[in-house]
Amino acid sequence: MAERKLLVLYGSQTGTAQDVAERIGREGKRRHFTCRVTALDHYTLADLIYEPLVMFVCSTTGQGESPDNMKHFWRFFFRRNLPANSLCLVDSAVLGLGDSSYPKFNFIAKKLRKRLVQLGSNPLMTLGLGDDQHELGPDAVIDPWLTEFWAKALKLYPLPQGVNELSDDVLLPSKYSFQFQDETNIDVPVQALDMNGRNGKPPSQVQPFHARVLSNRRVTDPSHFQDVRLMKFDIAGSGIEYSAGDVVMIEPRNSLESVQQFCQLLRLDPHSMFFLKPNDSATPLPARLPQPCTVQYMVERHLDINGVPRRSFFELLSHFSVDEMEQEKLKEFSSAKGQEELYSYCNRPRRTTLEVLFDFPHTTAIIPHDYLLDLIPEMRPRAFSIASSQQAHPDQLHILMAVVQYKTMLKKPRNGLCSNWLASLDPQQGEVRVPLWTKKGGLRFPTDAKTPAIMVGPGTGVAPFRAAIQERVAEGKQDNCLFFGSRGKSKDFFCQAEWEELTQKGCLTLFTAFSRDQENKIYVQHRIKENGPLLWDLLHNKCAFFYIAGNAKMMPTQVMDSLKSIFQSEGGLAVTEAEQLLRDLERAGRFQTETWS
């Protein structure tokens, strides 16, 4: 009988792929597979040829790029000298997680599956393409895809005689055991993860740099509905190097109020200390949790108690419930049939894990502490476009951040975890520091001094272009064209004085669109269309690069439509030729987008 081993490899920027991969690992264990779940870059690639069954779960970032934790794998996997039959003994399946509002939707998953076939792997399944834009989220694709996968996997790797699948009612062992300590008996202090000791390595998620906040200034009018901040950080001595288009990753913090509420609900002493012990030798300790650790540290900095819980949360929670009504509801939310109900209860109002725990008090009170890290995922860092140039500000890093606050059907307003925490930091009240590190972004700017750059950045989408313009001006590149849009000139014209000064110096050509300053709304796509002759000259005759950054909802598509219209009116191209030109520009790296939902 074929060896019943399942390897689940994931590549993810946000952690979603990891969550899905761990779910697949749990489902595999219920079918008595020996399962290993790990990030692609943490796996020894030479061992891949010996794996009987491999599942790849991966997302796509930026302009069709691989996530950070699969970059090494990606470079190795596409080496030309790999034999064509390398993976002829491997059965594989690929599940992509993406957002169809991006031009290169699930590009990495598509390319990976094609390469697996080239190397001789037997594809067990058609490619799965999860889509965040689906009204029920990626589960709308993942659920039926996994049902088919397990059916095919069990045909190839049948259960041993007399062995049955474990039902969903069986509680699997926890990943870790908590060993709480009497503080008086601990000689080893909690590791000081907040120290800025670099050990010769650049800052990273495992060891971020704790940057001092220099300023935290609101750049929208006090009467404006939206609070947008320009924050400046001191990175002197950090070893951080960044360029225009790069992003900064920031670790958020749960509020002290949330930490206290969570500890009260689960009857945890925030000051108690514990060691973590993996229950499986293949399970590594969490890299960002010290040993020993306090409950306060874990809840404040590690557990995503203010995130919207996923379906697996309700599934695991149902195992602990002894209250009949609560258990019934939890099981409904975790079933395939109950996904619309779950969406209405959880996703639509953006109900947090902490709020859900309040709604199921009988179950919450008896959650075994050993299952905390199975139940609640690790808090993910947030990415912000860097809004400054290191050439202009050598020891600083700036971000332009909208403070996320909105209302749903719930009485309590929804607040973005990281943006509200950052907005609350006041350097005038004393020294405050923020853990951060940088990584390469998706935007690449031309190196040739004579190549113009056309940048379309409404709202906070202008952040990476502020960095690019500062950098290009510092390098003597003066052919910069910026289209900026917002609601009103007096309300939210970010960096107005800076743009106007650069315009006067001849370093910037600026076009603005203030949608609410006149009866008919004017947006950046209208300004683009009005300036067709200029843009055609820059793109056609001067080989300009064209960039879009901002909200993915409607703006990017409308800007692209205006651009194609210019290709037709100024270049005399047919519709199909205009569309092909835009594709050609994208392929050449001269048309780039950075958008978010």
Confirm whether residue 419 is marked as ligand binding.
yes
Give the dihedral of Cα atoms 40, 42, 48, 52; nearest 10 deg.
-80
Tell me which H or E stretch contains 593: strand 591-596
**CA–CA distances in Å: residue 44 to residues 7, 72, 76, 89:** 12, 11, 11, 17
Confirm whether residue 350 is marked as ligand binding.
yes
Give the dihedral of Cα atoms 125, 130, 134, 136; nearest 10 deg.
90
Confirm whether residue 61 is marked as ligand binding.
yes
Confirm whether residue 106 is marked as ligand binding.
yes
Confirm whether residue 156 is marked as ligand binding.
no
What tokens does 65 get?
A: 């790029």
Tokens 């780039």 identify what position? 592
Confirm whether residue 82 is marked as ligand binding.
no
Confirm whether residue 15 is marked as ligand binding.
yes
Confirm whether residue 38 is marked as ligand binding.
no
Confirm whether residue 291 is marked as ligand binding.
no
Confirm whether residue 104 is marked as ligand binding.
yes
The pair phi, psi for residue 574, each rounded to 5°, is -75, 170
Confirm whether residue 14 is marked as ligand binding.
yes
Confirm whether residue 521 is marked as ligand binding.
yes
Confirm whether residue 460 is marked as ligand binding.
yes
**CA–CA distances in Å: residue 174 to residues 26, 141, 276, 450:** 11, 28, 12, 59
Confirm whether residue 97 is marked as ligand binding.
yes
Confirm whether residue 132 is marked as ligand binding.
yes
Confirm whether residue 417 is marked as ligand binding.
yes
Confirm whether residue 472 is marked as ligand binding.
no
What tokens does 508 get?
A: 């910037």
Q: Enumerate residues 6+ apart whose C-beta is below 8 A from 524.
A: 456, 458, 483, 484, 485, 511, 513, 555, 559
| 110 closest CA partner among 128, 122, 92 | 128
Confirm whether residue 382 is marked as ligand binding.
yes
Confirm whether residue 396 is marked as ligand binding.
no
Q: How far apart are CA 291 and CA 274, in angstroms?
A: 8
Q: How far apart are CA 282 and CA 36, in angstroms?
A: 7
Q: Enumerate residues 6+ apart whose C-beta is below 8 A from 30.
A: 165, 166, 167, 168, 170, 172
Confirm whether residue 383 is marked as ligand binding.
yes
Confirm whether residue 187 is marked as ligand binding.
no
Q: How far apart are CA 58 and CA 45, in angstroms?
A: 16
Residues β-bridged to residue 378: 303
Confirm whether residue 105 is marked as ligand binding.
yes
3-class secondary-structure state, position 330: helix
Confirm whether residue 522 is marked as ligand binding.
yes
Confirm whether residue 578 is marked as ligand binding.
no
Confirm whether residue 17 is marked as ligand binding.
yes
Q: Supply the DSSP string of 465-521, one letter for each residue.
A: HHHHHHHHHHTT---EEEEEEES-TTT--TTHHHHHHHHHTTS-EEEEEETTSSSS-
**CA–CA distances in Å: residue 502 to residues 482, 484, 486, 510:** 11, 14, 19, 9
Confirm whether residue 100 is marked as ligand binding.
yes
Confirm whether residue 13 is marked as ligand binding.
yes
Confirm whether residue 99 is marked as ligand binding.
yes
Let me know if 44 is exposed, middle or buried by CB neighbors in 10 A (0-12, 13-18, 19+). exposed
Per-residue H/E/C for 342-379:
HHHHHHCCCCCHHHHHHHCHHHHCCCCHHHHHHHCCEC
Residues β-bridged to residue 93: 55
Confirm whether residue 59 is marked as ligand binding.
yes
* Preceding amide of 533 cis, omega within 30: no
* Binding-site entries for FAD: 350, 382-385, 416-419, 596
* Binding-site entries for NADP(+): 460, 515-516, 521-525
* Binding-site entries: 12-17, 59-62, 97-106, 132, 350, 382-385, 416-419, 460, 515-516, 521-525, 596
* Binding-site entries for FMN: 12-17, 59-62, 97-106, 132
